[in-house]
Amino acid sequence: MACPEVKRYRGATQWCLSRALRAHGWEGKAHLRPEALTDLQQLLRFLQGDCSTRLQVPVPKLVIQFGADAAKSLQWGAWCKRSQLTLPDGRVLPAVDVETHGPFTAVESESSINVLEGIGQRQGMQALLPAVLLGIPTELLAETAVQCVCDNTTTVSSNNKQRARTNWLQLLLANAIWDELQRRGLDPLRWSTAHLAGVLNVRADRLSRLRFDPRDWSLAGYVFKFLQRQLQVYCSFDLFADRANAQCKRYCSAHTDGAAEFVNAWTRPWATLGATLFAHPPYILIPRVLRRVCEEGISMILITPAWPSQAWWPTLLSLAVAVPALLPTGPHALLPPGYPARRQPWPQRWRMIAWHISGDISEREAWRATRPTGSSTPTSMESLHRRTTPGGGDSATGQSQQDTSIMCSILQGLRHFA
């Protein structure tokens, strides 16, 4: 049997050589990609050491079962479990059975189903392995087997052989899973992928076909960048996001996500994140977000509907430290969940506003001191109310309890950008 490291690090070189042979024949030249050169260096370092012990396949002491599936134009789903484990010191680790799902990015969704299956396996392992491996001693991890099931024969072949015939991305995904197992302290030699008929791959298939949350709309990338320039605030952490619509490299997800820093934004103090925050929450959570901002004294960019009749509107106005910006209503300014597979315009009639708010009283007072102190007429307030709410109506009574001149100055200064 071939040494597994040889199988892992030969794949990229083998792919480049086979493509060069088909294109230029035996007399042609082969150009190796940077990934192939890196793999050859890793293989050379391995062969210079003692690799004789790697030619044996030891019996695993623990087995982790993993399954994943992908649905074209939808999302990926994965599950992972292990049985109850008794450690040498007498401690008992309970059985673990976890599952998760997530969307594909706009670039990924254009790939073939074979690539999407590999992406689902990689993302599922990144998200679920930490929970399954929690508490297992390091010496036992090296003797743990990972048994995967998949209903895509091309993905099964790429994982087991660590090579791909035509698709370079499939090879990179198989290598990424190998590297992820090594990073977690597992031995990739004990990683295997078996084929499971699609009619039997029920659990992973169900997870990959879950409906998108219809409320999970997101800003287009160009709108977010222009928004930061307008408000002169640059965010580095997205509180309510996933890997497909995160506006920042650092983000928090509602579901188990290997790329997210943590799950559930309410489980940690926001002041400890050490960053300027961006939040585009479900609208029902806006009062809770404002309360957390006041309690922790943090600043953020918050996206809300223009709803002056809501009970949280006066609180939002009192927390503002910059003139808010009215978001555009173009067909690609707000992206629906599942974009670009699902393309539809923003279905609501109300406008969206971006606010720079702060829970720091001194920061708010410093900004208010720069605003004009003249009072505004009720006509301007009513005019803005008719522009930002579908039904018009009289709902400005909540502002009367606040500093009227400051609030009207904020409302009159809304910046429109298309």
Kindly report, residue by residue over 22-36, the tens digit of the pLDDT: 677 766 777 777 777
Least trusted range by pLDDT, from 58-67, 73-82, 232-241, 334-343: 334-343
For the chain, what is the mean pLDDT? 78
pLDDT at 71 over 70: yes
pLDDT band for 399, please (50, 70, 90 cuts).
very low
Over residues 78-99, mean pLDDT: 90
Q: Are 219 and 335 in contact (CB under 8 A)?
A: yes
Whether residue 344 is predicted with pLDDT greater than 80 in this model: the reply is no
- Tell how strand 250-253 and strand 237-241 pair up: parallel
DSSP 256: -
Q: Provide the pLDDT confidence category of residue 287 given band limits of 50, 70 and 90.
A: very high
User: pLDDT band at 10, cuts 50/70/90?
Assistant: low
Across 15-20, average pLDDT = 68
Contact 407, 319 (CB under 8 A): no
DSSP 56: S
d(CA 67, CA 97): 12
Which residues, at least 6 apart from 158, have a Cβ–Cβ distance to it below 8 Å?
118, 164, 170, 171, 173, 174
Taking the model in full, what pTM does it have?
0.70
pLDDT of residue 9: 65
Nearest C-alpha neighbor of 341 from the set 70, 69, 75, 68: 75
For 323-350, what is the mean pLDDT? 67
* Domains of the chain as residue ranges with CATH: 59-155+195-208 (3.10.20.370), 218-416 (3.40.50)
Please count the CA atoms within 13 angstroms of the CA of 21 that sit on its side-chain side.
9
| Beta-strand runs (E) in 95-185 | 96-103, 144-150
Q: Is the pLDDT of residue 149 over 90?
A: yes
Residues in contact with 234: Cβ distance below 8 Å, sequence separation at least 6, in sequence order: 228, 276
C-alpha dist (Å) from residue 310 to 33, 225, 278, 305, 397? 57, 28, 21, 10, 11
Q: What does the pLDDT average to over 155-170?
A: 79
User: What pLDDT is stored for residue 388 in this prediction?
Assistant: 44
Confidence of residue 14 (pLDDT cuts 50, 70, 90): low
Calpha distance 110→2 (Å, rounded) = 35
pLDDT of residue 242: 84
Residue 79 has a pLDDT of: 94
